[in-house]
Structure 1
Amino acid sequence: MWAYRTPAGLEQANGALQALGTDVQIAADVEGADLVHSHTWYANSAGRLAQLTHGIPHVVTAHSLEPLRPWKAEQLGGGYRLSSWMEREAFTNADGVVAVSKAMRADILRSYPSIDPSRVKVVYNGIDIDDWKPQRDDDAVRALGIDPDRPSVVFVGRITRQKGLPYLLRAVASLPEDVQVVLCAGAPDTPEILAEVTGLVEDLRTRRNGVVWIDRMLEHREIVNVLSSATVFVCPSIYEPLGIVNLEAMACGIPVVGTKTGGIPEVVADGLTGRIVPIDQATDGTGTPTDPDRYVADLAATLNEVLADLGLAKLMGRAGRLRVESEFTWGAIATKTRAVYDEVLAGR
């Protein structure tokens, strides 16, 4: 694996410019390869430049799309226009396009209508089921401030608009007093959203105990322990092309409550491995609920339904583990990805 540094002179530049500078280095180094495969906008230009310079076929995988993440302008400023251009240039000229869900495939074709639909294939993300498996360690979770003997709702994710954390913090105010709320949440996109989340957490703590906020990046074994001891995992995202974190939770044997958006319903089987929460969303690309109060109420009600039947919750968790084992292993994903490569190379 190559290790790249931000090109000299760009250390203080906008993040999108730094990514483009690194992409130039990558494109120079892949000469002689049979095929290049880029993931997300910050690597897309490396693939596109290699395609132009060396005549190498380029496959792109969409884990998200810039036109559907307008809030990124809060983080990147003018760099959002550059990241959007980098993505558009790569996708519209790619030899093959991989979507991580059926919902993402539809988003790609809607966002970039010039792409030939026959070139867009669905290949889900996968996880290592040997790394992600039930592994309960009560002492380890106590060290993180979590009581393993109390039911818990766990959230894992970045503090960003798309993850929907503010909606969750409003919803959990309606959960039973004995239920812990465990937030493994850090890396805020902006000071503004961090301030919003901090205010909501502080307000929640004035009304209930058992609110645990872990704002550092947990080690792998720690997050596996947290998930394995949880009662239910929650994914309140308003934009989620697939949601690997849901696969990780399912692999650890716990049910998932997730929003009916993007690829989440393709991962979480409603009523079998968890529950899906309905949402009506704005069509302006933000994914914002058109009726936020209704969404918060539905999220709270669904979490309460799962928490009210712990026996059923355990059965859902076991079903989730089986689903991951049968459909989302890296072996299965690799086979499908290789088929995409073979088709692209055969068409050259």
Structure 2
Amino acid sequence: MKVLHAVTLHTPTHDFGGPTRVALNLSRGLRRRGVDARITALGDRFDGPLPDSVEGVPTWLYQARHVLPAFEVSGITSPAMLARARRMVAGADLVHVHLMRDLVTLPIALTALRTGTPLVLQTHGMIDPTEKRVAQLVDLLGLRKVLREADAVLHLTESEREDVEAVAVPRPLRRTHRLVNGVPAQERRPATSGDRPPTILYLARVQARKRPEDFISAMPVVLAKYPGARFVLAGPDTGPLADDMLALAARLGVADSVEYVGPLGHSEVMERLRSSDVYVLPSIVEPFAVSILEAMSVGLPVVVTRTGGLSPDVAAAGAGRVVDSRPDADNGPLVGQAILELLDPAANAEASDAAWNLIRDKFSIDAVVEDLHGLYEEVVAGHRR
């Protein structure tokens, strides 16, 4: 079986985050099962020629053209990719589109419908009802059509499925299927010993909805007990927010204890996770963060918010701490207290075991790929009939 994964953007430091990581993880897992899985996407910020493979997955990358800069990632495209889209799609037995309202994935999904190629969509929490006029126009011009006519639409949570169905009305979706995110098995991190200053890590895009300010404002609470603790803020900055966070740390008198290291490559991400004691992601909205899964895959305890899609699993397993998060309040003290609890060596070891076992038992990439491969076979067989 030949499968084409289409995702919006790939950069050397994975600035687009979850969707690209999911596409890579799934493609690698499918290739281990003998499926000819490939990825097409826009490439940006590479020095020299765009690579023809990423982490062992063959890729067709096209240089990103920022035709509508005001719309950021939704406003990039490639005339060369669009010109070749029909040939790429027609050469696949199935097209798996990581869909958003953009000028990359939506045209490829429409091309799959025009060529009669089996189509699976995965929205990653990026498609929901909106009052924005431009987004509503995109829905009218093609998004609703691909949602309604796709052979299957994947969702992470029930609320995501409801959001996608609300966009597709009045006609229902043909088929929905829950597919969780999965990550590869990883080597465990060393146990927290308590004989060295702890490291607390935020590793995600530095953007408003992920509430990095709650990570920074948790610092005084932790430093009161662990004055040598180090706080690492890592990930691509979607604006001047990283500078704002460093300024907030200065106002709180804790600037010497925080470091912003910027975006990291995937191997660097895993190194940072293994060398940390607690991972923190205080997002207001987080459908199913791959970064949380990656943290737990090395046995790193996590502090997450109650509104996250993975939070019930974290709480049930005891893989970390789940805190409230309000967009109109300083949640730093709550986050700080949760960090303190996990810095206790015994509590850290218990949560570490739970996190590593949770990934192995429920969110391994092998189990997710087996589920997806079965869906692919059903979709392709349905087309043949």
Output one character per residue of 1:250-272: Cα deviation in whole Å (capped at 9) or x when no partner: 11112111011231224423461
Q: CA separation in 2, counterparts of 1:257 and 1:92?
A: 37
Q: CA separation in 1, counterparts of 2:119 and 2:83?
A: 15
Q: CA separation in 2, counterparts of 1:68 and 1:303?
A: 35
Q: Per the alignment, in what secondary structure is the counterpart of residue 153 of structure 1? A: strand
Q: CA separation in 2, counterparts of 1:137 and 1:212?
A: 23
Number of aligned residues: 316
| 1:50-199 aligned within 5 A | 50-67=111-128, 87-114=143-170, 116=172, 119-129=175-185, 132-136=186-190, 149-177=196-224, 178=226, 180-191=229-240, 193-199=241-247
Contact 1:253 1:318 in 2 (8 A): yes
Shift in Å, 1:37? 0.6
Is there any run of 5+ residues in structure 1 with no aligned partner, and where?
A: 139-146, 281-288
Corresponding letter in the other structure for 1:31: A
Output one character per residue of 1:204-236: Cα deviation in whole Å (capped at 9) or x when no partner: 4x336432321242551x333322232211111
Contact 1:101 1:266 in 2 (8 A): no
The partner residue of 2:85 within 26, 29, 40 is: 26
Is there any run of 5+ residues in structure 2 with no aligned partner, and where?
A: 1-57
- Residue 141 of structure 1 corresponds to which residue in structure 2? none
Shift in Å, 1:321? 0.5
Q: CA separation in 2, counterparts of 1:137 and 1:256?
A: 14
Q: CA separation in 2, counterparts of 1:105 and 1:154?
A: 31
Contact 1:37 1:47 in 2 (8 A): no
Contact 2:219 2:254 in 1 (8 A): no
More helix by share: 1
Percent identity, aligned pairs only, is 24
| 1:272-287 aligned within 5 A | 272-279=318-325
Q: CA separation in 2, counterparts of 1:28 and 1:318?
A: 48
Is 1:344 aligned to 2:379, yes or no? yes
Q: CA separation in 1, counterparts of 2:92 and 2:129?
A: 32
Q: CA separation in 2, counterparts of 1:69 and 1:228?
A: 39
Corresponding letter in the other structure for 1:343: E
Shift in Å, 1:113? 4.3
Q: CA separation in 2, counterparts of 1:161 and 1:87?
A: 26
Q: Per the alignment, in what secondary structure is the counterpart of residue 121 of structure 1? A: strand
Shift in Å, 1:136? 4.9
Q: CA separation in 2, counterparts of 1:214 and 1:92?
A: 43
1:153 to 1:46, Cα distance in 2 relative to 1, 3 A? same
Q: CA separation in 2, counterparts of 1:69 and 1:301?
A: 36
Q: Per the alignment, in what secondary structure is the counterpart of residue 60 of structure 1? A: strand
Q: Per the alignment, in what secondary structure is the counterpart of residue 213 of structure 1? A: strand
Output one character per residue of 1:267-325: Cα deviation in whole Å (capped at 9) or x when no partner: 42346111111235xxxxxxxx2x423x3333233223323x32011111111101111
Output one character per residue of 1:55-107: Cα deviation in whole Å (capped at 9) or x when no partner: 1121111213154799xx9xxxx986777666555334322101133443343
Q: Per the alignment, in what secondary structure is the counterpart of residue 183 of structure 1? A: strand
Contact 1:250 1:324 in 2 (8 A): yes
- Residue 311 of structure 2 corresponds to which residue in structure 1? 265
Corresponding letter in the other structure for 1:318: D
Q: Per the alignment, in what secondary structure is the counterpart of residue 280 of structure 2? A: strand
Corresponding letter in the other structure for 2:231: V
TM-score by length of 2: 0.71
More strand by share: 2
Q: CA separation in 1, counterparts of 2:316 and 2:277?
A: 17
- Residue 292 of structure 1 corresponds to which residue in structure 2? 329
- Residue 286 of structure 1 corresponds to which residue in structure 2? none
Q: CA separation in 1, counterparts of 2:195 and 2:84?
A: 48
TM-score by length of 1: 0.77
- Residue 5 of structure 1 corresponds to which residue in structure 2? 62
Shift in Å, 1:159? 1.1
Output one character per residue of 1:116-173: Cα deviation in whole Å (capped at 9) or x when no partner: 36722111111111xx3224599xxxxxxxx982122211011112221122212223
1:60 to 1:271, Cα distance in 2 relative to 1, 3 A? closer
Shift in Å, 1:20? 6.5
Corresponding letter in the other structure for 1:172: M
The worse-fitting range, judged by mean Cα deviation, of 246-255 and 171-180 is: 171-180
Contact 2:130 2:136 in 1 (8 A): no
- Residue 292 of structure 2 corresponds to which residue in structure 1? 246
1:45 to 1:229, Cα distance in 2 relative to 1, 3 A? same
Contact 2:213 2:332 in 1 (8 A): no
Q: CA separation in 1, counterparts of 2:285 and 2:145?
A: 23
Contact 1:135 1:225 in 2 (8 A): no
